[in-house]
Amino acid sequence: MSVLFVTATGTDVGKTYVSCALIRALRAAGRPIRAFKPVVSGFDPAEAGASDPGRLRAALGPDAPSLEQIAPLRFAAPLSPPLAAQMEGVTLSLDQLEALCRDQMAGDAPLLIEGAGGVMSPLTDSETNLDLIDRLGVSAILVTGSYLGTISHTLTALEVLKARGVPVAAVVMSESENAPDLAETAAGLSAFMPDIPLFTAPRDAGGWDASALARGLSF
């Protein structure tokens, strides 16, 4: 089964924006796709549609599974998952998160798994998104911003993924607010990673067309 893990250089750089655009592009091309976000924090049931899993569900279309199926672990506090879970009397474990992902990976269509925060953001008291990706043995899409300093952050994340032997299918630079020119920043980054496909995701009013990314993925 084809599985890609969408991770990032940090929090709020555009993982869900990129994931939703990719889902829409795959569906427009007639390709099946599912989405899963095992844990989310900062979740407000009153604003479920605007949440990360709510946006993923909308991108999946009318036949999408329930929000509870897309994101089974939802916590209210806008903190890292282990801290948000602790505030509700829950202790997260990597075994639990892996089992949830593997249940989804057993499905009959390609799957996007979206992490929480950056590649080195904590998922449990002692483990990170990287540990989960490593356990699952899947390839990653790395999302980064276009802000000043992003080249260093992106190359650092790529080195960490490489050290664990995680294949990177693509890097997507999601446009940041009040940032340097997107194309120029992407060109500066691409010189340091000639063997990894790099895509730019502008924040256009109509949303980013991710069809080029979709075509480039053996997925």
Catalytic positions: 37
> CA 149 to CA 191: how far, in whole Å?
15
For the four alpha carbons of 99, 102, 107 and 112, in that order, the dihedral sign comes to positive
Unique residue bearing structure tokens 């500066």: 188
Specify which residues 139 forms β-bridges with: 4
Q: Count the neighbouring beta carbons within 10 Å of the beta carbon of residue 85.
A: 22
Question: 111, 2 in Cβ contact below 8 A?
Answer: yes
Are the C-beta atoms of residues 7 and 15 closer than 8 Å to each other? Answer: yes
- CB distance 9 to 18 below 8 Å: no
Per the structure block, which two tokens stand in for 67?
């929000």
Amino acid present at 98: E
Nearest one of 107, 109, 52, 103 to 75, comparing CA atoms: 52
